[in-house]
Amino acid sequence: MTELTHYIDGKHVKGTSGRFADVFNPATGEVQYKVPLASAAELAIAVDVAARVQPQWAAVNPQRRARVMMKFVDLLNRDMDKLAEALSREHGKTIPDAKGDVQRGLEVVEYCIGAPQMLKGEFTDSAGPGIDMYSMRQALGVTAGITPFNFPAMIPMWMFAPAIVCGNAFILKPSERDPSVPLMLAELMEEAGLPKGVLQVVNGDKEAVDAIIEHPVIQSIGFVGSTPIAEYIYGRGCSHGKRVQCFGGAKNHMIIMPDADMDQAADALVGAGYGAAGERCMAISVALPVGEETADRLIEKLVPRIEKLKVGPYTAGDDIDYGPVVTEAAKRNILGLVQSGVDQGAELVVDGRDFTLQGYENGFFVGPHLFDRVTPDMDIYKKEIFGPVLSTVRAGSYEEAINLAIDHEYGNGTAIFTRDGDTARDFANRINIGMVGINVPIPVPLAYHTFGGWKKSVFGDLNQHGPDAFKFYTRTKTITSRWPSGIKEGGEFNFKPMD
């Protein structure tokens, strides 16, 4: 059985803890690799390396740091197929989805090429008599990121690219479920010219996470995952004096108004609800049609589209709509929640519980599910399912629909489909959710804006990528300088006192 490694100080390093996790092929259910789970001592070795090299990297001027990112973009494009294949093999998502994963990370790297502009400070001439005042943005030092399984390329790049271009060293603890692509990204960064040790990959589980939280040299932590773990890392990280941003769960609602283009809305829901097997924090999992007639029309449009979805392994090519979920445990959790919906009285319009795929009976495939007449007290409405399950809640009015989204504990993303500008504007202004789509089903901002939710979907006051990333990965230092001036008389300066 092949054992993966850590990537420390520019080298692949075998794990020494004696603990390993299985990395599955989700399509077959077979174990394809073992990944080492680092001890606190192994994490400390990476931190020591990072602390040694970071001051030298921070001393490199921002333009030269940005050139590393420029080269890295070229290498990502060169190796796109290779990265996508490795990603699909471990995660299970289709090759087009895998390429999209890499591409959205690449776009943040492209944004980071503008670091010289983003890192400029401010200057005030003559703030007082003979006094100038200016600010500068300086790197934090050693930073760390803990990333999830569902975007093993994109989210690591969302974290390490801005951190590194700001002059920090970065330690990445990727998901142990699909760790190969993060290791490949570290290699490509060094090929692009990054000094050894500035970006390191330490694989692990909770022991490595706790070591990151507790290590006094690590200055900041980024995290994406479930809300309970986000709360844990945020609370403990802050108590250890670190700067922390944590992104948690989601339950994204899409309101469908009576005047919406119903074909457009149905297509959007299918793509946003079932793409990547629903394993996306920005997936639409709740449809809110306004009015019984709207709901009936929507269900009529959805059913044939969902029944035509093709589920299979990534090796089947571009003809597949989505692949397996990441683990057998994830599959059991999804089907358990589906059963709870049936038990609690929801109408299961499209039932994917008995889905099987010939030749892949041991794979972690979950058929598509569509519920109708879901109510807010049901588990399938309250909980994040993270699978190919769409719940339809029939709202009697626009006010009822918007209040359902407002009252839910999660606030990651939301959308409305309508032809009415007043309704769309009211929705955008009133909704207490971080990312809003108007006739756009998955409103993920582009790299030069910021990504982040509200409520229990986020812990911390700065978002990912965009301008917030440069704020998160730097500290502002303000300097007040006085250069006394005088009038030269008899070969001497007479300095004027400050007021």
Rounded Cα gap, residues 334 and 391, in angstroms = 13
pLDDT-based confidence at residue 497 (cuts at 50, 70, 90): low
Q: Name the percent of the chain lying above pLDDT 70.
A: 97
| Per-residue pLDDT tens digits for 301-319 | 999 999 999 999 999 988 8
Candidates 112, 166, 246, 281; catalytic one: 281
Residue 436: per-residue pLDDT: 97
State yes or no: pLDDT of 492 exceeds 60: no
| Per-residue pLDDT tens digits for 199-258 | 999 999 999 999 999 999 999 999 999 999 999 999 999 999 999 999 999 999 999 999
> Looking at this protein, which amino acid is placed at residue 237?
G
| Per-residue pLDDT tens digits for 160-208 | 999 999 999 999 999 999 999 999 999 999 999 999 999 999 999 999 9
281 is an active site residue: yes
Domains belonging to the chain, first-starting first, are: 6-248+457-479 (3.40.605.10), 252-438 (3.40.309.10)
Residue range 487-491: mean pLDDT, rounded: 51
User: Given the structure tokens 């040694």, which residue do they identify?
Assistant: 52
* Torsion (CA) 327, 333, 338, 341 in degrees, nearest 10: -160
Interacting residues of 375 by C-beta distance below 8 A, sequence separation 6+: 345, 346, 381, 393
| pTM for this prediction | 0.94
Residue 484: per-residue pLDDT: 75
Average pLDDT, rounded, for the chain: 95
Q: Is 357 exposed, middle or buried (0-12, 13-18, 19+ CB in 10 A)?
A: middle
